[in-house]
Amino acid sequence: MKNLMNITDLAVEEIDELVAVAEDIIANPVKYRDKCRYKKLATLFFEPSTRTRLSFEAAMLELGGSVLGFSEANSSSAVKGESVADTARTVSCYADIIAMRHPKEGAPLVASMAASVPIINAGDGGHNHPTQTLTDLLTIKREKGRLNNLTIGFCGDLKFGRTVHSLIEAMARYTGIRVVLISPDELKLPGYLKKETLDAKGIEYLETTDLSAVMPELDILYMTRVQRERFFNEEDYLRLKDSYILTPAKLENAKSDLAILHPLPRVNEIHTSVDSDPRACYFRQVLNGKFIRMALILKLLEVE
Ligand code: NCD
């Protein structure tokens, strides 16, 4: 049995294969519509979600399977004091595969040690979000035609943004990658990622507070929301929340083939007038999230 806790649980070859399967699903949807007949996916979400939970459910439904689960901790026995391990062991009796989101870093890992079916980390606190990363990689592949030789700018909350952490861990394993980290001083990328991922893999990176200054260099601009729920006080959030607001004017000196990604939800960091720019990929990215999760479910359930 295989779980997905961290994007580095997958070899680069396995990621490339998932991307290829997702592209085949897009090209030949009918071929896949009964692949998971009689299989059940449980979504255990202890934290809010729109895209991640619904895309997992849509993915399983499109594979001919069924879904069950809960979308908030308050409607589960967690409020009675049940441990994540006991919940996972219980749900293993009902489902063939589990996607779990939790506000505590490491909770899905604890669940995976108690479960008897594969567990997918659907976001654990400010730590990791590997299936968003698979979504991002499929999007980059489809938009740019490659996953190497790219300059990627990450902008916004690089401290608490788990999607940033996982995508950096993934991109660091491709060749010709340059990383530009754009954030306020208080929301810089955690030191462990700089040391254990960027430095360890010899990835060239630059830290700056100035988005406009680096805009012309970027092939990908990965915008993120300031993660309000991870702040210790509201004043800091209010001071930092509008640090970066992408507008058409700010894109004037950007490359004509820039790809703008955002895991969503967006708050203020991309003005809605950017949405009609062909370089805005974030709603195409949403759709890719369903296809790559279909590919992942097939892999973890070992469906041919
Ligand atoms: C992200 C998350 O939950 O980390 N959302 C998502 O899954 N698409 C990003 C965010 O909440 O800002």
Report the share of the chain in percent with pLDDT over 90.
Answer: 98
pLDDT tens per residue, range 105-133:
999 999 999 999 999 999 999 999 999 99
Domain boundaries along the sequence of the chain? 7-128+288-300, 131-286
pLDDT tens per residue, range 163-213:
999 999 999 999 999 999 999 999 999 999 999 999 999 999 999 999 999
Ligand 1 neighbours (beta carbon < 6 A): 51-52, 123, 129, 132, 162-163, 225, 263-265
Q: What is this structure's pTM?
A: 0.97
Residue listed under structure tokens 């899905």? 108
- Is 131-286 in the same CATH topology as 7-128+288-300? yes
* CA separation, residue 153 to residues 73, 169, 178, 202, 284 (Å): 34, 14, 9, 17, 19
- Please report which confidence band the pLDDT of residue 304 belongs to, taking 50, 70 and 90 as the band edges: confident
Beta strand extents in 191-292 (DSSP E only): 204-208, 220-223, 259-261
Query: Please, what is the average pLDDT of the chain?
Result: 97
Say what the pLDDT of residue 42 is. Answer: 98
**Cβ atoms within 10 Å of 179's Cβ, excluding its own:** 23
Which of the pair, 6 or 1, is modelled with greater confidence? 6
* CA separation, residue 67 to residues 58, 76, 199, 273 (Å): 9, 16, 41, 36
Ligand 1 pocket test target in 53, 129, 261 with most atoms within 8 Å of CB? 129
Q: Which residue has a Cα nearest atom 8 of ligand 1?
A: 263
Q: Please determine, looking at this structure, whether the domain spanning 7-128+288-300 carries the CATH number 3.20.20.70.
A: no
pLDDT tens per residue, range 219-237:
999 999 999 999 999 999 9
Going from the Cα of 265 to the center of ligand 1, the distance in angstroms, rounded, reads 6
Say what the pLDDT of residue 252 is. Answer: 97
Ligand 1 pocket test target in 264, 288, 290 with most atoms within 8 Å of CB? 264
Greatest Cα-to-Cα distance within the chain, rounded to the nearest angstrom: 55
Q: Per-residue pLDDT for 1 more than 80? A: no
Q: In what order do the strands lie in the sheet with 177-182?
A: 204-208, 177-182, 150-155, 220-223, 259-261
- Please report which confidence band the pLDDT of residue 154 belongs to, taking 50, 70 and 90 as the band edges: very high
Contacts of 249 (CB under 8 A, 6+ apart): none
Q: Per-residue pLDDT for 20 more than 70? A: yes
Residues taking part in catalysis: 51-52, 80, 101, 129
pLDDT tens per residue, range 180-191:
999 999 999 999
Q: Please determine, looking at this structure, whether the domain spanning 131-286 carries the CATH number 3.30.230.10.
A: no
**Cβ atoms within 10 Å of 45's Cβ, excluding its own:** 22
